[in-house]
């Protein structure tokens, strides 16, 4: 099973990925968790740019595609072929949102990715209004980085919300407690 958690920054994706992985492990399933951008060479450059200043839109999109291609070939496909549950914190839907907020066509980004990247069985969009997301980002001791500016986050949220309506996409309100959000995710998977 291939599961992806998406949403703007501050929605709790990383925590929910870990809770979900623990739940599957309790059921005796082999689980692989990962995130994008990865810690590989392209992903590392992208992570650095979040703190030092974003790359040009063209370079940023190119790096995301290269990072994802390596991720798919080295981790995602082999893990799925081995029958493992794969849970990702961000995937190409984030590229659609964040690079879409910079002027790229999200539909074109999706097409480029789906030419090589498998579509998840379940995409959970953790939804949160931008003001609450910003307060959570500040509450975790961080300041908003280059990807977390208010206007950009609103555009990203709008792009994420445009994905709802597809059968594998599940919108989860992440205003509640960690336990409430996890319960909602598990209810879909059960």
Question: Going by DSSP bridges, is the β-strand pair 122-127/31-35 parallel, antiparallel, or unpaired?
Answer: unpaired
141 in a labelled binding site: no
Q: How many other β-carbons are positioned within 10 Å of the β-carbon of residue 165?
A: 8
Q: Is the pTM of this model over 0.85?
A: yes
pLDDT for res 49: 87
pLDDT in the model for residue 64:
96
Q: 56 a known binding residue?
A: no
Domain count, the chain: 1
Residue 67's pLDDT is 98
Please check if 12 is assigned to a binding site. Answer: yes
Phi-psi region of 103 (alpha: psi -120 to 50; beta: other; left: phi over 0): left
pLDDT < 50 regions, the chain:
139-140, 143-147
Q: Does the annotation place 7 within a ligand binding site?
A: yes
The confidence score (pLDDT) of residue 53 equals: 83
Q: What is the CATH number of the domain that holds 108?
A: 3.40.50.300
Domain hosting residue 176, numbered range: 2-189
What's residue 107's pLDDT? 96
151 annotated to bind ligand: no
């Amino acid at each position: 099973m291939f599961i992806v958690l998406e949403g703007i920054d501050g929605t709790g994706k990383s925590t929910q990925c870990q809770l979900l992985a623990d739940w599957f492990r309790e059921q005796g399933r082999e689980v692989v968790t990962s995130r994008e951008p990865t810690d590989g060479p392209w992903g590392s450059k992208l992570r650095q740019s979040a703190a030092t200043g974003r790359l040009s839109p063209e370079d940023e999109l190119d790096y995301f595609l290269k990072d994802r291609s390596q991720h798919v070939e080295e981790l995602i496909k082999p893990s799925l072929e081995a029958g493992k549950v794969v849970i990702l914190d961000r995937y190409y839907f984030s590229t659609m949102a964040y690079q879409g907020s910079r002027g790229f066509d999200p539909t074109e980004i999706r097409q480029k990715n789906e030419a090589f990247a498998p579509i998840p069985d379940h995409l959970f969009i953790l939804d949160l209004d931008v003001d609450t997301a910003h307060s959570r980002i500040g509450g975790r001791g961080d300041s908003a980085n280059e990807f977390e500016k208010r206007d950009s986050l609103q555009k990203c949220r709008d792009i994420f919300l445009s994905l709802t309506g597809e059968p594998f996409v599940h919108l989860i309100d992440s205003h509640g407690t960690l336990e409430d959000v996890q319960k909602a995710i598990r209810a879909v998977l059960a």
